[in-house]
Structure 1
Amino acid sequence: MSTINSSNSNNKFFPVFSHLKYEYLVAGVAGGTISTLVLHPLDLIKVRFAVNDGLSKSTPYYSGSINAFGKIVKSEGYIGLYRGIIPNILGSGTSWGSYFLLYNCIKTWIQDGNTGEPLGPWMHMIAAADAGILTLLVTNPIWVVKTRLCLQYTEDIDLSESKRYSGMIDALKKISMTEGIIGLYKGFVPGLFGVSHGAIQFMTYEEMKIKYNLYRNKSTNAKLDTMEYIACAAISKLIAAAITYPYQVLRARLQDHHHNYQGTLHCIESIWRYESWRGYYKGLSINLMKVTPATVITFVIYEHISQYLLGMHKKKMEL
């Protein structure tokens, strides 16, 4: 199978990177980009619910997802539903591409090149967690910008010029100049906790595929039908989202320029004090409405494109 750089196979210091395959990167980018294009409005509404603590006067109040949709269209037009879409596409494409690339690289390294060897739940979680941390280091600034752009309200008349952003590049420049590198990595700590989300999701997804293939007496890495991929992706995402959702609220609150939390612990304490445990789950329903189909679209596209590209390469090598 092809690698991104053939010299990686001779890398004595980081042998894990000898298993990098561009097919997983391309498939992940395609899946993440397409799902984001389709479902960005739901993501924007989820972010606005997550940061609404009921105390800030500059934050619009929405009684529900339909109410939020109507108010955004009325005050900002349909274009308002797509605020932050560019960094969201860039972030999702980069995140999913990097995640699938690194996850498969680390997993294959653990398997010592034998992709048919089952890893077991814990090793799947370790591979997914490692891939998640490396991906977060690259993409956190993009998510900060995406959150800030999603939270640009037309009612923000008192917001300083340094916190008004005309687009992604403008936001990157202003955050860098006024808040420094720390500003671009706001929400990084809860993001690290969020790595557990990907670890649980990928472990569940992989184990479901393995157990199903064993059930039908096939090899552990045998291909599934589209509907079978959809079922595995949806169930694994629902389980991971239900367990780890509070970190997304914390990350959104810390990245929101309308709040001034002193850190992660202060944010946790404030939510508990004023909103009780329900505050940690604000936006969960709209999040599930968005992430479940997004994950299904991403994983199905990823599986089919990666298999196609890997199959094409195998045929080329056999000629």
Structure 2
Amino acid sequence: MDSAAVPGGQRRCPGPASPPAAPPPPRAPQERSPFRHVRYENLVGGLSGGVLSTLVLHPLDLVKIRFAVSDGLKLRPKYNGILHCLATIWREDGFRGLYRGVTPNVWGAGASWGLYFYFYNAIKAYKTEDRLEGLGATEHLVSAAEAGAMTLCITNPIWVTKTRLVLQYEAGIDSSKRQYKGMLDALIKIYKYEGIRGLYKGFVPGLFGTSHGALQFMVYEELKTKYNRYKNRQFDLKLSALEYITMAALSKIFAVCATYPYQVVRARLQDQHNRYSGVVDVIRRTWRKEGVHGFYKGIVPNVIRVTPACCITFVVYEKVSHFLISLKNGG
């Protein structure tokens, strides 16, 4: 009878063949958390960048809004240019005047950038979950528009409050003559006298304005991707601060030039010194009285402000979020 070798050099007779092992039972599909793509690092990074850039450049935002609503009403101050506007505000209301409306602006910019990056990165991660490559230009555009609409639903009341505070120019340094004493007072009074509708004035043009952020993020993401491909690097590789600044500036200038008229329409709807029946009324009256030029009032101080503001925001966001993610991963 034949024998079979076993460990230790001993030999034994083979027994009956053992039955094949049963296959393991199939694993139940692992449930995926609906919040698996939500990262607080993106929220903190965006909030940090938005707050810092707003604190540095708020006076230029104030100038932009005052030029945007300049429709010929007698109560409005007349300015010959950006420097004249800044000098006039400084002379009449001091340093405090240059930062009128800064509180809701900081809240609004911080919340908007934080929520925007928060929603945008979650949407982008969800769409690229089972893909090796990043999103295309159209997908970036749609993702950014979705994130912008979600953010605006939360932050529109803050922007109405900021506009009202920035346009309190008739009181000068006498605070007792001001219609609103601060952000909270403005929110309460707008709700009391105008209701929810008052807090959401300018929402429609603001919703259209999500195209601004969508175009900006599309160009920003495409520039990063194509630059990394040009350098033969991974498409989502971290860049240097100078590279982020360059791409943020180019994408912002493109978005501003493409969508600025909606900001004029929104500011005029939110202005407490004039009354419009809606978006169409603003467009019709602006076109009749001021022509095409009316839709681009304030664009120069806006470009001067938003370009460095965007660079600061994006660099701070990228650095803070990458730092927090590496810290979380133990790196």
* TM-score, scaled relative to structure 2: 0.88
Deviation at 1:127, TM superposition (A): 0.6
Show the counterpart of 2:312.
Answer: 297
Encode CA deviations 1:171-220: one digit per residue, 9 max, x unaligned.
00100000000000000000011000000000000000000000000000
State how far apart, in whole Å, the 1-side matches of 2:212 and 2:170 are: 33
Show the counterpart of 2:300.
Answer: 285
Residue identity matched to 1:123: E
Residue identity matched to 1:67: H
Encode CA deviations 1:10-36: one digit per residue, 9 max, x unaligned.
55xxx3x43100000000000000000
Deviation at 1:155, TM superposition (A): 4.7
Deviation at 1:267, TM superposition (A): 0.3
State how far apart, in whole Å, the 2-side matches of 1:168 and 1:218 are: 47
Show the counterpart of 2:119.
Answer: 102
Structure whose alpha-carbon radius of gyration is higher: 2
State how far apart, in whole Å, the 2-side matches of 1:237 and 1:10 are: 36
Moved over 6 A (4+): none
1:19 partner SS: coil
Unpaired runs of 5+ residues, structure 2, are 1-30
State how far apart, in whole Å, the 1-side matches of 2:36 and 2:111 are: 21
Show the counterpart of 1:120.
Answer: 136
State how far apart, in whole Å, the 2-side matches of 1:37 and 1:117 are: 37
Q: 2:110 aligns with which of 93, 114, 120?
A: 93
1:77 partner SS: helix
Instruction: Check conservation: 1:76, 1:154, Cα contact below 8 A.
Output: no
Q: 1:18 aligns with which of 28, 36, 47?
A: 36
Encode CA deviations 1:39-72: one digit per residue, 9 max, x unaligned.
0000001000000112x11111111001101111
The structure with the greater share of residues assigned to helix is: 1
Residue identity matched to 1:185: Y
Deviation at 1:113, TM superposition (A): 5.9
The count of residues paired between Structure 1 and Structure 2 equals: 299
State how far apart, in whole Å, the 2-side matches of 1:211 and 1:172 are: 44
Q: 2:170 aligns with which of 154, 157, 163?
A: 154
**Is 1:43 aligned with 2:61?**
yes
Residue identity matched to 2:136: G
Residue identity matched to 1:58: L
Give runs of aligned pairs for residues 62-77 of structure 1, distance below 5 A.
62-77=79-94
Show the counterpart of 2:5.
Answer: none
Instruction: Check conservation: 2:75, 2:170, Cα contact below 8 A.
Output: no
CA RMSD of aligned residues (A): 1.7
State how far apart, in whole Å, the 1-side matches of 2:103 and 2:92 are: 21
* TM-score, scaled relative to structure 1: 0.91
State how far apart, in whole Å, the 2-side matches of 1:151 and 1:101 are: 31
Percent identity between the two aligned chains: 54
Instruction: Check conservation: 1:58, 1:155, Cα contact below 8 A.
Output: no
Show the counterpart of 2:152.
Answer: 136
